[in-house]
Amino acid sequence: MTALTDSRARLAGVAAAVFAVTIWAGWIPVTRLGVITRLTPVDVAALRYGTSGLLLLPVLLARWREVPWQRVGLLAAMIVGAGVPYFLVFATGLRMANSGQGGVLGPGASGVFTVLIAALLLGERPGRMQFLGVSITAAGVALVVLHELYAGGARAAGFALILCASLGWASFTVASRVLRLRPVVTTAVIAVVNGALYLPFYLASGNPLRLAAVPAHDIVLQVVYQGVLTGIIALIAFTFAVGRLGAAGAASFTPLSPVLVAVSGWLILGDTVDAATAAGLAAVGLGVFVANRGDAWVRALR
């Protein structure tokens, strides 16, 4: 591979990584927009997993034998941790917490929980840089939580729900690490199984009748962003970035996520960022950067 070709491949990888992180960052304010206006968390969950499940059903059928169905515990942790239970808890929390706070308590706390679970269950001890990064991230999460409690705790219930959802996402991360399925297969399992289990209850509840009164553009936004962009395209883009930059190089771009969450939340919803949340966002970004050995940015762009 020539130097020019190598440079173009790295540039394409950087663009794909930024694209994926940007989509994931927008997921929080788009979800919050839905659940504080005309939709409920149960509606958005149906749109998300119904769409992604239908689109990824052919993938799961084609890759059926790649899935270790006998490993029920790990599959359950993966399916629940990134599925409807995770989404409903997180989305309900976002009805009380704003986008910036969700960015700290979501991506931030899930990273801390992932390291703790991996250490306890898998014996994966974090290195010094990773431990330092996780400690900085945990401090940022604690700062936001303690500030809320000091201010009276009006959003404490929402914070608790988002932290519980983050714990579920961490369980998914560890389970998927153990199973080591292809990213698209992992996504297909989560989407199809959750859609198959959840949609019958949703349809039987009569909730779909409420969607008839919701403007079409609100439904289309959630279908496209939740079911297509977040659940499928962002994953493909990030996998492409890993192939071009390596795992460390691609992961080094994730510190952008909490900051982009706050920015997109301000643009879409007008969510303001107080001093504690700003400090928490900075700590989470710095923590993830340090944990992924910050010089990966330099290596990725060489």
Q: What pLDDT band is residue 295 in, cutting at 50, 70 and 90?
A: very low
Residue 279: domain span: 3-301
Q: What is the mean pLDDT of residues 188-196?
A: 95
Structure tokens at 157: 């219930």
| 8 Å CB contact between 99 and 264 | yes
Instruction: Check residue 65 and report its DSSP letter.
Output: G
Q: How many CB atoms lie within 10 A of CB 211?
A: 15
Instruction: Check residue 59 and report its DSSP letter.
Output: H
Structure tokens at 170: 């961490």
Instruction: Check residue 231 and report its DSSP letter.
Output: I
pLDDT in tens, 61-106: 999 999 999 999 999 999 999 899 999 999 899 888 888 888 888 8
Tally of structural domains, the chain: 1
Structure tokens at 77: 């942790």
pLDDT in tens, 244-282: 775 445 555 665 677 777 777 877 777 778 888 889 888
